[in-house]
Amino acid sequence: MTTNQLGYVSGIIAALIWSGFILVSRLGGISELTPYDVIAVRYFTCAVLVTPIWLFYWRDKPFDKRLIFAGLIGGVIYAVFAFQGFSLAPASHAAALLPGTMPFFIIVLALVVNKERASNQQWFGVGIITLGVTLLLTPLWITQAFTLGHAYFLAAAICWSLFSVLVKRWDISPWQVTISLAYVTCLVYLPIYVLFLPKAIGWGAWQSIAIQAFYQGVLASIVQVVFFVKAVQSIGPSSMGALMAMVPFISGISAIFIFDEPATISLVAGLILVSGGAWFAHSKLVAKRCFHG
């Protein structure tokens, strides 16, 4: 398997885990756990599991200043925004606003940070994404159903998009990202969580804790990050954005059935447009046929 093919396989795996992350995170958001509990469970579990890897296999320095900055953006700040959002807004909305808007923010931030100019095709795809998000949010504004959770999702999308652009710019390896994310988040966040933040962790919540520990601490924090970063390094953040196009539709439609969320025309149309725009913005096949003849 070539490096490019391996990059696409890694990207697909990361995207599928992302789809499940939306659903499991909403499950945590409506459980007895607080958003702060879920963050603590996620990164404590991850830190415990990656410690043997760091001690016996990948002995890179986890606290390089670039790794610390990336860890704060993609770990602490992203997690606070995202999990607050999951406690306040539906998962189907998260599907459109979190992974759905990342291609837009990645294109903009890649231009600002890395001076990567977007093509006409990419901007057209961004226009489709914007239309999809507008279709979703406009009825919420009209009916006054827009919550702070929706704003949190957009803020989290910006954080993860900046994180992915920085990973490419600084050529950070998958294990560097995974280990530094876990350690930086734990060292910064856990003391604040233990001393000041509201908690609902108790023996009665062990099932919710186990679910969040496995998916958040193992799949989302370790497996997904490794595959995501490997894909970004192999095929670039923009191509990874194309693979992420499947996440809004898969997770959004799944959330409607799993959580019995309202399936409005504007929501379904928004999910389709967001996913379609993300794919269009980054599809090399479209670029070759439509923009180069």
How far is residue 176 from each of residues 46, 182, 217, 219, 270, measured CA to CA in Å? 13, 10, 16, 17, 36
| pLDDT tens sequence across 132-190 | 888 888 888 887 778 899 999 999 999 989 998 888 888 877 778 778 888 888 899 99
The whole-angstrom separation of Cα 156 and Cα 151 is 9
Task: Say what the pLDDT of residue 64 is.
Answer: 79
The whole-angstrom separation of Cα 122 and Cα 238 is 9
| pLDDT tens sequence across 58-102 | 666 767 788 888 888 988 899 999 999 999 999 999 998 988 888
Nearest to 177 by CA among 167, 187, 185, 169: 167
Lookup result for tokens 């949010």: 137
Predicted TM-score (pTM) of the model is: 0.85
